[in-house]
Amino acid sequence: MIRAGCKVKIWIADWFAQLNNKMGGDLKKIQTVGRYMIEIWKAAGMNLDGVEFLWSSEEINNRAHEYWPIVMDIARKNNVKRITRYTLVYVVFPLKALFSSKASP
């Protein structure tokens, strides 16, 4: 994509890793791992020209006035039963059908 002239944004989902208790929920450790991953991409020869790394914690904090009202709106309008039903109907069942269908000869 870079060679084609595209700009690429890679999200480092540090807050979501903390939410999932990765690295014992220690945000500093999670961010250290995120920086390490960036270094791995560099060492592997990934072309980082035109690549922007975004940290979810920074973006959410910088745009909290936009982010949290959306999160609260989604939380108010949904419940676990509804989300589970949606996931089954629009995600699980279509994927299951896609991968279980046999290709025609």
Distances (CA, A) of 19 to 24, 45, 64, 90, 93: 10, 31, 17, 25, 27
| pLDDT tens-digit profile, the chain (105 residues) | 778 888 999 999 999 999 999 999 999 999 999 999 999 999 999 888 889 999 999 999 999 999 999 999 999 999 999 888 988 888 888 888 888 865 544
Distance of alpha carbon 41 from the chain centroid: 17
Rounded CA-CA distance 64/99 in Å is 39
The structure's pTM equals 0.67
**Which tokens hold the place of 101?**
């269908």
The domains of the chain are located at 1-62, 64-105
